[in-house]
Every structure is written in C-alpha cells, then in structure tokens.
Amino acid sequence: MEESAIDTAKRTKEAIDKIIDSKLRGEKPTIVGTGEKKKDATYIRYKSSSALSDDENKSRIIKIVDKQVDPMLPPSFKIKKVPQGPSDAPEPVLHEQAKKLSAEDQKKWYIPPVVSNWKNTNGFAISIDKRMASISNDSEEKYVNDNFSNLSEALEVADKQAREEIKLRAKMQKKLLQQKAIEKENRLREIAEAARQKRLGRGRKSRWDDDDEEKDEDEVNKNKSSEVNVGIKNEGDLNPERRKNIENYEKTAAERREILRNERRRKAEKELRMASVGTVTKAKILSNERDITERVALRVSDRTSKEKSETQYDSRLFLQAAGTNTLNGEDQLYDKPLFSTQDAMNDLYSHGNANRGYDEDDFAESQIGKFTSENRYESLKSNTEKKVGKQSHGPVQFAKETTIQEPEDHNESYGLKTNQKKKQKLS
C-alpha cells in the first residue's frame, strides 16, 4: 500500500515538472531563422599541453556560446548545378536485314491520310477520291428505297395529265371565241342589211337625224368586208349613178366619224395626261392655251411671268428722298401723286368731242386726212419761223417771242459794250 502511494506521488511529480519545464522553456528566446531554442552556454576546462606555459595557467575554464546570426543576411554560398558528364556508349544491338516489300504488301500496309469533313486548317484543296476513300466503306451494301422510283413515276404521270387538260381547255376556249366571233359577224350582217334596206326604202336620209343609225353604221364600219358583200347583193338592181352617190355619201360619213373618233381620243389622252401632271405644270399648260386678252386680264402674260420668275423688289423702297423735306412731310399724306403728270394731262385736256356724232368710218377718214395734211418735216430755225399748230392733246402752250442777236465780238457776248453805252448816255 505504501509502495503504490510512493509510486503515484513520483509519477505526479514528474508530470508537474514536465509542465513547469515546458513553460520555462517557452520563455527562453529562440533563433529567428531556424526556429530552434537558444542553447545554454557550455563550460570547458582547457589545459595547455606545451611545456613552456606556467603551471598556474596550464588549465583554464572557457565559456562556449552560440554566435548570434543575422536572419536577414543573404546566403553565403550559391548552389550550382553541376553539368552532367558524357554518358556511356550505347550497347550495340544486332538487327536482321529488312526484307523488300512487294506491291501487294505495300497495298496492305497503305494507310490513307485522314480527311476531315469539318476541319481544314491549312485550307488545302482535297480531291474527291481522297475524301471518298476516307468516308466510303466498300463492305456496306447500298440500298435504295423503291418509293423513290414510284414517286418519280407518279409525278411524270401527273405532269402528262395536267398538260393534256391544259390543251383541252385551250381548245375549248378557242372554239368558244370562234363561235362568239361568228355570232357577232352574223349579227353585224343582219344590222347592216336592215340599215341598207331602210336606207333604200326611205331614200337618202340626213346624217344627223338618228343616233341609232350612226351607231349601227359604226358597227358596220368595223367589219367592212361583210358590209361590202351584203351591199353588192342588195344593190344589184340600183342605177350606177345612185350607187355612186350612196358610196360617196358613205365615204364622207365614214371620214367624219373617223375625225370625231380621233378628236375624242385626243381629248381623252389629254385628260389622262392632265390628271397625271402636277399642279404647277397644269397651270402652265392652261396659261399657254389661254388667249392673250385673258392672260392680260388674269395677269399671267409672258411679261408678268418673267417678272415673277426674277427676284422682285418693292420699287417704293428705292429712290425715295426720305427725311429730306421734314417740314412738308407732316402735312402731306401721300409720298407720290396718284397719276403721273403726262397721263393726267392727257386725260384732263383730251377733247372727247372729236368722234362724237360721227360714225367709226367718218372718224377714221378724218384722222387719215389730218395725218396726210400735217407737215411733219418743219424747219427748226427759230420760234418765230415755226408755225403754231393745234395740238391734239395736252394743255395749250404759249411761246414768248424773243429776238436773238448774234454777238459781233467776244466782248459783246458778255454785255460789256451795252454797259458802256448806258454809262455814256447817263453822263
């Protein structure tokens, strides 16, 4: 019992010492670079072996301590890789001599180049035989479905049937058109015969009496050959003069109808063109078709159109003496007279009784006589020699008689001699 207690106390003491020792060891400094704990200093007794040394100093105690190393120092030595030396010579290997391959063996050992259907990085032009050699397998059997042949046969049969149906339909349409043409020709013949009988029964008739007869004649004109044949049968008993008159009449009527048709056609074409034309061109066309009086009245004559095409400015803005007469500007309401002076005088002083009470012919004769009696080439020497004639327009003008004497010398032209004479008289 005592032994077990002693043993337990011993083990407990060892465990406690271990814990304390680990704690004390943690407090000691460590080497930074290696992470090892700093070793304690060691003491060595040194004893000299030389005979010359003193006895006192023969033995001494030396303290050995680890030198502190700077952890930031670079390595003192560089590790170099030693180049590998030459290898040993390879062992000789003996081979058998290569056999020459035959063509069959080469064909068996031939491996075709790989040809991809998706990749061609170098962009080579691959021939078809190489491509097919890489794809095709001769061992596989080709099988084609029979339905392909059945489909092609069915399509061919359907095509033939459709062609036959189209031919039959075209023949039927042609027959119907021929039948309609024959019916129309027979109807026109009947109308022509009825018109001929009516004309022969009632004699020559006016061209403008009946519109229905004109329509019948237009229809007859479309098929002239049938009309001529019918006319020859029905007019066999007529006199040649009568027949000639009828033919002339028919010819003139046909010409008139043709002229009317052409006019209507032209009018319709013009209306179509005018409908498709814009407003500006339409206005130009209408202005060209108008008479000159209408153009002047509507102010669309050539002169006005030219003026409109050019840049227009208000003439009242130019050549105005604005601000020159400021005193009169306040009382004067208008900047211009209403009429120009010459026009106003012509209107005021024109004698309007010249053609009153006379016919137009008498007035024209009087004017012609006036023009013939007038001396148009008068001498222009002086105002005294001029003949004073009656003016047909404008106010009455009075001329003052003045005698102009030619100066004898240069001094007289300036009035020097006359002044001297006056002075002499006064003195």
- pLDDT by residue for the chain (427 residues), tens only, comes to 788 899 999 999 999 998 988 888 766 655 554 555 667 889 998 887 776 666 666 778 899 998 888 889 888 888 888 888 888 888 888 888 888 889 999 988 888 777 888 888 888 888 888 877 777 665 567 788 999 999 999 999 999 999 999 999 999 999 999 999 999 999 998 998 888 888 887 544 444 444 555 555 555 555 544 444 444 444 445 567 777 777 777 888 888 888 998 998 888 888 888 888 777 777 777 777 777 777 777 766 555 555 555 566 666 666 555 555 544 556 777 777 666 566 656 655 555 544 444 455 666 777 777 766 666 555 444 444 444 444 555 677 777 776 555 555 555 555 566 666 666 666 5
Q: What is the pLDDT of residues 18-47, one digit of tens each?
A: 898 888 876 665 555 455 566 788 999 888
Residue 131 corresponds to which amino acid? R
Q: Which regions of 211-259 does DSSP assign to beta strands (E)?
A: none
Token representation of residue 159: 């095509």
Contacting residues for 383 by C-beta, under 8 A, at least 6 apart: 399, 401, 402
Q: What is the pLDDT of residue 392?
A: 53
C-alpha distances in Å from residue 310, one per residue of 42, 288, 296, 303? 127, 19, 19, 11
Q: What are phi and psi of 46, to 5 degrees?
A: -110, 130
CB 38 within 8 A of CB 28: yes
- Tell me how many degrees the CA angle 77-78-84 measures, rounded to the nearest 5: 130
Q: What is the pLDDT of residue 133?
A: 73
- For the chain, counts of helices (H) and of strands (E): 15, 2
Burial (CB < 10 A; 0-12, 13-18, 19+), residue 252, is: exposed
C-alpha to C-alpha distance for 12 and 41, rounded to whole angstroms? 31
Burial (CB < 10 A; 0-12, 13-18, 19+), residue 253, is: middle
Q: What is residue 64's three-state secondary structure?
A: strand
Contacting residues for 287 by C-beta, under 8 A, at least 6 apart: 295, 300, 305
Task: Name which of 185, 238, 249, 237 is nearest 213 in CA terms.
Answer: 249
Q: Which residues pair with 42 in a beta bridge?
A: 64
C-alpha distances in Å from residue 315, one per residue of 9, 301, 304? 141, 21, 16
Token representation of residue 218: 């237009």
Q: What is residue 100's three-state secondary structure?
A: coil
Contacting residues for 114 by C-beta, under 8 A, at least 6 apart: 134
Q: What is the pLDDT of residues 222-274, one digit of tens each?
A: 554 444 444 444 444 556 777 777 777 788 888 888 899 899 888 888 888 88
What is the CA 318 to chain-centroid distance, rounded? Answer: 44
Q: What is the pLDDT of residue 142?
A: 73
Q: Which ranges of 203-223 does DSSP label H, i.e. alpha helix? A: 211-222
Burial (CB < 10 A; 0-12, 13-18, 19+), residue 227, is: buried
Q: What is the pLDDT of residue 158?
A: 96
User: Please, what's the largest Cα pairwise distance for the chain?
Assistant: 202
Q: What DSSP character marks residue 30? A: B
- Residue 192 CB neighbours (<10 A): 23
